[in-house]
Amino acid sequence: MLRYEPVYYDADKNMSEATRTVLQPDAATTREIDQQTDPGFLWDFWYPASRSTEIRVQKLTRALLLEVPLVLGRTAEGKVFAMRDACPHRGIPLSYGRLDGSAVECSYHGWRFDACSGQCVEIPSLTSQDKLKVERVFAGHFPCEERDGYVWVFMNAPGTRVPEKVPEVPALAVFSEKYKTIHLSCELPSHIDHGIIGLMDPAHGPFVHQSWFWRKRASIHEKAKQFEPIPNGFRMSPHSPSTNSAPYKLLKKMTGEPVTTVIDFVLPNLRTEIDRSGKMWFSSRATVTPVRRDLCRIDFVAAWNLPFPVFLFRPFAKTFLRQDQETMIQQAEGLKHNPRLMLIDDADRQAKWYFALKANLLESRRTGTPMVHPMDGPVTLRWRS
């Protein structure tokens, strides 16, 4: 596997030149590296890196996102931050160091960096004779925010600067002041693309998720669902959900009003589902986040105001995730040998849209032209599940 050569430079002599070299490597070199090792990630999006509860004050925590090692922490004021887990001096992971108030101190030579900006604030070895401008040294850092119980990190592409205007962190839709929530996650030994198309696959339900509370294999029937394009994704248009699922039947019984469901997929990795019936609502989001090219993680968060206690809901959701996880473990076994694969109409059409959205987004970024949406307009898909 191709690796970046370490870059050494004489910081005292030519700081600004050197900084530029590190931040913007020669375009030709970057292209060559990309072609040989492109892991198929989508950069310049927010990804959940960790649960909020795992990031505690004055403690450094490691995370890996899109094969980028990160060190996460929380300053004394409670603000979360994400830095590249490598000291810009000699590359030792900053996570071996310590967090002191709002500065991370490297364990090797004690350089200290402001945790939220990455800016160096102290180099202990410098004497009064040294001309090095400490404030011009930066450790890699990423925009970092908390939402819905997660620490999100905006992953800008390697070798680029963080854009001046970073989009909003995705938020889970909620429809009342009081509600219950649940967070679950599980890892899949899969490339992000397999993780995502598995998440949106409509045909595996009756086989993988067979259970008394969801559906039986015998309940398979033909469905027609309308889809429409939305920015960076597609929407299963509002509809009354599957009549062979117990939870939806129950919801309808409780409110006596029709249930409507809206399911969206939006790049890079978000699937949201909102079920509403009268005043009752259930809202969930699953994200599939690339950790490495052969590993991704599903983070599932749900909120609801239905009178279902969390302790009743949790085992169902866990069973669901485990069934998907076991399937993906088995699939990874088959994919090791590089088999030829198929995408069929209409059951795999959402997967086709995902690949087209991703390709068109990359193309629009490459050319600087507006992104072409792969869907012309609303379309009805039919499958049996």
By a kind-dependent CB cut-off of 5 to 8 A, residue 152 interacts, out of ligand FES, Fe ion, none, with: none
Closest approach, Cβ 184 to ligand FES, in A, equals 37
Nearer to ligand FES, 90 or 336 (CB): 90
Residue found by looking up tokens 């700081």 in the block: 15
Closest approach, Cβ 82 to Fe ion, in A, equals 30
By a kind-dependent CB cut-off of 5 to 8 A, residue 324 interacts, out of ligand FES, Fe ion, none, with: Fe ion
Residue range at the interface with ligand FES (CB under 6 A); choices 24-32, 103-111, 174-182, 363-371? 103-111
By a kind-dependent CB cut-off of 5 to 8 A, residue 133 interacts, out of Fe ion, ligand FES, none, with: none
Closest approach, Cβ 128 to ligand FES, in A, equals 20
- If one asks whether residue 111 binds ligand FES (CB under 6 A), the answer comes out as yes
Sole binder of ligand FES in the list 106, 116, 280, 328 (CB under 6 A) = 106
- If one asks whether residue 286 binds Fe ion (CB under 5 A), the answer comes out as no
By a kind-dependent CB cut-off of 5 to 8 A, residue 352 interacts, out of ligand FES, Fe ion, none, with: none
By a kind-dependent CB cut-off of 5 to 8 A, residue 175 interacts, out of Fe ion, ligand FES, none, with: none
End-to-end, the C-alpha distance of the chain in Å comes to 42
∠ CA 303-270-335, rounded to 5°:
120
Nearer to ligand FES, 20 or 109 (CB): 109
- If one asks whether residue 209 binds ligand FES (CB under 6 A), the answer comes out as no
Closest approach, Cβ 109 to ligand FES, in A, equals 3
- If one asks whether residue 113 binds ligand FES (CB under 6 A), the answer comes out as no
Q: How far is CA 278 from CA 70, 195, 263, in A?
A: 44, 34, 18
- If one asks whether residue 7 binds ligand FES (CB under 6 A), the answer comes out as no
Sign of the C-alpha dihedral, residues 133, 139, 140, 145? negative
Written as one string, the DSSP assignment of 66-103 is TTEEEEEEE-TTS-EEEEESS-TTT---GGGSEEETTE
- If one asks whether residue 138 binds ligand FES (CB under 6 A), the answer comes out as no
Closest approach, Cβ 148 to Fe ion, in A, equals 21
Closest approach, Cβ 90 to ligand FES, in A, equals 4
Sole binder of ligand FES in the list 108, 175, 316, 355 (CB under 6 A) = 108
Q: Whole-angstrom Cα distance, residue 214 to residue 246? A: 6
| Residue 125 CB-density burial (10 A; 0-12 exposed, 13-18 middle, 19+ buried) | exposed
By a kind-dependent CB cut-off of 5 to 8 A, residue 138 interacts, out of ligand FES, Fe ion, none, with: none
Residues 6+ apart with CB under 8 A from 60: 71, 72, 73, 94, 95, 97, 98, 99, 104
The torsion angles phi and psi of 227, rounded to 5 degrees, stand at -120, 150
Site string (315-354) toward Fe ion, x via CB under 5 A: ---------x------------------------------
- If one asks whether residue 62 binds ligand FES (CB under 6 A), the answer comes out as no
Q: Whole-angstrom Cα distance, residue 177 to residue 290? A: 33
Largest distance between two CA atoms of the chain: 81
Sheet holding 61-65, edge to edge: 61-65, 68-74, 80-84, 141-142
Record the tokens describing residue 202, joined without a space: 């409509």
Q: How far is CA 114 from CA 57, 90, 104, 238, in A?
A: 15, 18, 6, 47
Q: How many residues does the chain have?
A: 385
Nearer to ligand FES, 139 or 298 (CB): 139
* Residue 35, helix vs strand vs coil: helix
**What residues make contact with ligand FES under the rule CB under 6 A?**
87, 89-90, 92, 106, 108-109, 111
Residues that bind Fe ion (CB under 5 A): 324
